[in-house]
């Protein structure tokens, strides 16, 4: 239980730090955000994602790639893990999904409705 709470808190902190840095100035004088290109995940889509699904299946369900949060381990090994975050369709919501060996290992959702 403590590990799950810690994972959720860490994910939340990473999400906040990433969103704070996601806006950049473009040469046209307007503000652009990588976040605007990230598809939003709905509760219905989230319910279709289960442990063991491959990254490509998850991307197909949501309609696009999330923002990569982190990566650990050597690619091609059992220890390789990559985490992505998708913004939720409702304000202040998001889903963080970790993939071990290209398959869903953990799903953390915040404020999804």
Using pLDDT thresholds of 50, 70 and 90, give the confidence band for residue 39. confident
pLDDT tens, residue by residue, 44-54? 999 999 999 99
Is 21 a residue whose pLDDT tops 50? no
CA distances (Å), origin 71, targets 46, 65, 75, 109: 22, 15, 9, 19
**Residue 52 region by backbone torsions, left for phi larger than 0, else alpha for psi between -120 and 50, else beta:** left
The predicted model gives 93-108 an average pLDDT of 96
Average pLDDT of every residue of the chain: 78
Is 35 a residue whose pLDDT tops 50? no
The dihedral formed by the CA atoms of 106, 97, 111 and 67, expressed in degrees to the nearest 10 = 160
- The C-alpha atoms of residue 28 and residue 30 are separated, in whole angstroms, by 6
The predicted model gives 22-32 an average pLDDT of 39
Predicted TM-score (pTM) of the model is 0.67
**Which pLDDT score is estimated for 88?**
95
The predicted model gives 99-108 an average pLDDT of 96
- The C-alpha atoms of residue 92 and residue 99 are separated, in whole angstroms, by 23
């Amino acid at each position: 239980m403590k590990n799950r709470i810690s994972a959720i808190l860490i994910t939340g902190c990473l999400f906040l730090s990433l969103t704070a840095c996601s806006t950049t100035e473009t040469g046209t004088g307007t503000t652009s955000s990588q976040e605007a290109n990230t598809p939003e995940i709905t509760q219905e889509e989230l319910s279709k994602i289960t442990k063991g699904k491959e990254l490509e299946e998850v991307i197909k369900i949501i309609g696009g790639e999330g923002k990569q949060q982190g990566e650990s381990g050597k690619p091609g090994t059992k220890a390789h893990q990559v985490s992505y975050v998708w913004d939720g369709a409702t304000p202040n919501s998001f889903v963080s999904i970790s993939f071990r060996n290209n398959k869903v290992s953990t799903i953390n959702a915040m404020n999804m409705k």
